[in-house]
Amino acid sequence: MGYGSPSRGGLEPIAHRIRNVADKLAARRQMKKGLKMSKDKKQKVTGYDKYVDWKIFIVPVVLFFVLLLLPTPYGMKDVGTEYRVGPKAVVAQITRTLFDASPSNAEQWQLITAQMMEQNMRMGALTKDRFLKRSFKWCHKYGIQADRRNFERARTHIQEKVGDDTYAALMQQAAKLRRDGLKYEELSDTDRRAADRGAWQIKVAIAMGVFVVLCFLTECIPLPGVAFCIGLILVFTGVTSRSEVAMLYWSDACWFIMGSLMFAAAFVKTGVDKRVCLMMFRKLAVPNVRWITLIIFVIIAPLAAFISDHALAAMFLPIGMLLYQNSLTREVPEDPELGKMLMIAIAMACNIGGPGAPSGGARNVIMMTYLTDMFGFDIGYFQWVTYCFPFLIAMIPITWFVVNWRFKPRITSLAPAMDQLRSEIGRMGGWNRQQIWALIIFMVMVFGWFTEKGFYQMGIYPVRLGIGVIAVAGAVAYLLAGVVNWRDYQEKVDWGVVWLYAGAIIFGRTLDDTGAAYWLARSVIDLLAPLGMDSGLPLMAVSNGLTAVLTNLMADGPAAAAVGPISLNMAGLVHPGTTYLPFMAMSTAVASSFAYGLIIGTPPNAIVYASGYLEPKDYLRVGIPIWFLANITLLLLTGVYWALRGFSGLPDF
C-alpha cells in the first residue's frame, strides 16, 4: 500500500456519503420534475395551443361551399347590378342632364364633375355644399383621375352654374336610377356579365361571413388562422387580387392595434403600470369595500379609453387579488363574494371604458374607418371623445350600483389591504430613467392622437398622419430611448391579435365593397318595415341590440367588423347624408363593448376569470342587468345629447 493510498475501510464511508448525496440530488430533481408536471397539468390550454377541431371545423367549411353552389337569388343580382352597372349609368345620366353629352363625348372636366357627383351619391352626400367641400386629394383617394385645372373647373361650374335645388334634384334622380331604374333582365350582355360578377362576389362575401362567424363562435380553428383564411378565400374566389389583399392587411387601424400593444408591453416591462396603480390607490383608497369598488371604476374606466382593456385587466388583477387576500382574517378566512366583487369590478370597469376614445378598442377604429370609407365622414380622435366619453361617465355609477347590488361580501373593511399597499409603495423607491421615458413617450402619443386631425387641417402637418402611424411611431420611440428591445415586443405583444383584427377589417370591408352588406341591410329593413322599426331611434335600438348580443359570442373587434357595414348601410338607406350616419357608427362601436355576460366576451372577462374566484354564472349575475341598462343609456345619449348637439353641420335625421 503506497503512501497516501486510503484503506478499504476509509473508502467505504466516503462512497456511502457520495451515494447519499447522489440519491438526494436525484430525489430533488424528481421532485422538481413532478412539480413542473403538476404545474403543467394545472395550466389551462389557450386558444393558440389548440389544433384544428375537424369535427366542428368541417361544418363551416361545408356550409361555405354549399352557399356558393346554391342558385344566386334575384336580390343579389339586383344589388350586383346597382354596384357594377349603376356607377356607369349614373355618370351617363349626369353628363346628359348637365352638359347634354355622353361620357365618351364629354370634356375631361365635365366627366370629372359627373364622377364626383356619383361618388358623393354613393356616400350619401347629396347636397351641393358637400360637393364644394371636396378637395383635389379627395378625388385621388376615390380613384377619380383629375388634374388640378380640370378639378377647379368642375368645382367652379357647380358653384356658379348649378343651384342648390337643382343639384339636390339631380342627385335624387341619380339615386333613384341606381336603386330602382336599373333592371337585371333589361341589361345588355356586357352589363349582365358585370352584374353576374357582382352577384358572385356578394355570394362569396355572404358565404365567407357564415364561415367566419361560425369559426369565431366555436374556435374550431385558432382565430388568427381565420384571419388568414379570409384573405385566401378572397384571392381564390377572384374577389380581390393578391396585391390588393396584402395591402388590406396593413391598414391604419391595424397599425394602431399593433402600436397600442407595443406601448402596453413597454408599460408592463418598466413597471409604470404598477407604479401608477399603486399611486392612485394610495391617494384615493378608503377602507370600505363599496368605496374601493367605486375607486376601481373611477380609475380603470377612464384609463380603458386610452390603454388597451386587456392590458389594464392584467395590470389591476394582481392588485385586486392582493386586496382580497390581505383582507381575510382568522374570523373570516374565506369570503367568496368579496373576491367575486373585486374581480368583476375590474372586468366591468375595463368593458365600460373602452368606448370613451378611439384608443379604447379596435372596434372604435374599425367603425371610424368604415364611416370614412363608406360615406366620407371623418371623426377625429378628440371629436370621438366629446361624443362617447359621456357614456363612460354615465355607466360608472350604474355599473358600480349593479355590482354592489349583486354581490354581498361578509368583509366590509379593507384596511389591512390598504396598509399592505402603502408598504409596497414605500419599497418601490423613486422613478427611474426608463419609467420616465415610458411615461413621456406615452403622453406625446396621446397628444398626437388628440391633435393630428386638427393640425393637418390647419396646415401644421403637411400630411395626415392617422392614429395608427402615431402609435407605431411611439413604439419605435420606446426602442430608440432604450426603454425596450425587440425581444420585449416579440415576447410580450400578442401578434395573433394584430392579425386577427387585420382579418376582421378585411372581412367588414369585403361586406361593404361587394354590396353584401347593402343586400343584408336592405333585407333587414324590409323585414322590420311592417313592425315600424325601419328608421330613426327604433332602428338604432335594433342595431344596438343585435350588436350587443353578437359581441358576447365573439370578440368585439370582429363583431363590429361584421355588424358595422350592415348598420351603416341601413343608416345610409333610410337617413342619407344626415347625422344618423356618424351616430350609427358611434353607437355600433359602443354597443360592441357590451360583452358583459360571458367569459369569452372580452379579454378582461377571461383575465379576471383566471384568478379562480369566479364562476361562469357570476358574469350573468351582473352582465344581464348591465346589458339592458347600457342599451337604454346609449339610446338616451343618442336621442338627447347627440341629437341636440348635431354633427359637423349635417342635417338632423
Confidence of residue 268 (pLDDT cuts 50, 70, 90): confident
Mean pLDDT, to the nearest integer, of 505-533?
76
Signed CA dihedral, 554, 555, 561, 564: sign only: positive
pLDDT at 559: 66
Q: Give SS3 for 331.
A: coil
Please give the angle made by the CA atoms of 171, 177 and 179, to the nearest 5 degrees.
100
Q: Give SS3 for 288.
A: strand
Q: CB neighbours of 442 closer than 8 A, spacing ≥ 6?
A: 263, 267, 474
pLDDT at 2: 43
Instruction: Provide the Cα torsion 421, 426, 430, 431; round to 10°.
Output: -10
pLDDT at 421: 58
Nearest in space to 354 (alpha carbons), one of 154, 57, 559, 646: 559
DSSP assignment string, 342-404: HHHHHHHHHHHHGGGSGGG-HHHHHHHHHHHHHH-----HHHHHHHHHHHHHHHHHHHHHHHH
**Assigned domain for 374 exists:** no
Residue 135 and residue 129: Cα distance in Å, rounded? 12
**Assigned domain for 275 exists:** yes
Asked if pLDDT for residue 114 goes beyond 70, the answer is yes
Name the one residue in this structure whose C-alpha cell is 393578391: 242
Q: Same domain for 339 and 440?
A: yes
At position 358, the amino acid (one-letter code) is P
Cell of 495: 401578434
Residue 360 and residue 592: Cα distance in Å, rounded? 12
Q: CB neighbours of 162 closer than 8 A, spacing ≥ 6?
A: 98, 128, 170
Signed CA dihedral, 257, 262, 268, 273: sign only: negative
Number of domains in the chain: 2
**Assigned domain for 569 exists:** no
Name the one residue in this structure whose C-alpha cell is 343639384: 167
Q: Specify the DSSP class assigned to residue 533.
A: -
Confidence of residue 3 (pLDDT cuts 50, 70, 90): very low
**Assigned domain for 6 exists:** no
Task: Output the furthest CA–CA distance in the chain (Å, rounded).
Answer: 125
Residue 274 and residue 277: Cα distance in Å, rounded? 5
At position 12, the amino acid (one-letter code) is E
Confidence of residue 601 (pLDDT cuts 50, 70, 90): low
CB 503 within 8 A of CB 230: yes
Q: Same domain for 315 and 441?
A: yes
More confident residue, 29 or 243: 243
Cross-strand pairs, 288: 413
Asked if pLDDT for residue 26 goes beyond 50, the answer is no
Q: Same domain for 148 and 266?
A: no
Burial class (CB within 10 angstroms; exposed 0-12, middle 13-18, buried 19+) of 445: buried
Mean pLDDT, to the nearest integer, of 434-450?
85
pLDDT at 252: 77
Q: CB neighbours of 137 closer than 8 A, spacing ≥ 6?
A: none
Q: Same domain for 423 and 285?
A: yes
Cross-strand pairs, 467: none
pLDDT at 13: 53
Q: Same domain for 156 and 277?
A: no
- Work out the mean pLDDT of the chain and round it to a whole number: 81
Residue 140 and residue 185: Cα distance in Å, rounded? 34
Q: Same domain for 268 and 177?
A: no
pLDDT tens by residue, 136-155: 888 988 889 889 999 999 99
pLDDT at 333: 80
Nearest in space to 503 (alpha carbons), one of 237, 216, 311, 149: 216
Residue 346 and residue 359: Cα distance in Å, rounded? 19
Rg (CA), the chain: 30
**Assigned domain for 101 exists:** yes
pLDDT tens by residue, 321-375: 777 877 777 777 888 888 899 999 999 999 999 899 887 877 888 788 778 767 7
Q: Same domain for 160 and 303?
A: no
Q: Same domain for 406 and 317?
A: yes
Q: Same domain for 286 and 162?
A: no
Listed residues 181, 212, 239: the one ending a domain: 181
Q: CB neighbours of 531 closer than 8 A, spacing ≥ 6?
A: none
Cell of 115: 364622377
Listed residues 138, 154, 181: the one ending a domain: 181
Listed residues 492, 519, 548: the one ending a domain: 492
Residue 246 and residue 270: Cα distance in Å, rounded? 35
pLDDT tens by residue, 382-407: 899 999 999 999 999 999 999 999 99
Q: Give SS3 for 99.
A: helix
**Assigned domain for 55 exists:** no
CB 583 within 8 A of CB 636: no
Cell of 514: 361587394
Residue 442 and residue 263: Cα distance in Å, rounded? 8
CB 509 within 8 A of CB 372: no
pLDDT at 25: 46
**Assigned domain for 108 exists:** yes
Q: Give SS3 for 413.
A: strand
pLDDT at 273: 67
pLDDT tens by residue, 36-62: 434 444 444 445 677 899 999 999 999
pLDDT at 324: 81
Q: Same domain for 266 and 139?
A: no
Percentage of the chain with pLDDT > 70?
83
Backbone angles phi, psi at 409, to 5 degrees: -75, 155
CB 201 within 8 A of CB 34: no
Q: Same domain for 488 and 391?
A: yes
**Assigned domain for 651 exists:** no
User: How many CB atoms within 10 Å of residue 38?
Assistant: 10
CB 474 within 8 A of CB 444: yes
301, containing H or E segment: helix 289-304
Asked if pLDDT for residue 308 goes beyond 70, the answer is no
Mean pLDDT, to the nearest integer, of 606-618?
75
pLDDT tens by residue, 471-498: 899 999 999 999 999 998 888 777 877 7
Name the one residue in this structure whose C-alpha cell is 363574494: 337
Cell of 569: 348601410
Residues in the chain: 653
Domain, as residue range, for 167 = 86-181
Residue 135 and residue 122: Cα distance in Å, rounded? 17
pLDDT tens by residue, 580-593: 989 999 999 999 88
pLDDT tens by residue, 269-293: 887 766 765 666 565 545 688 888 8
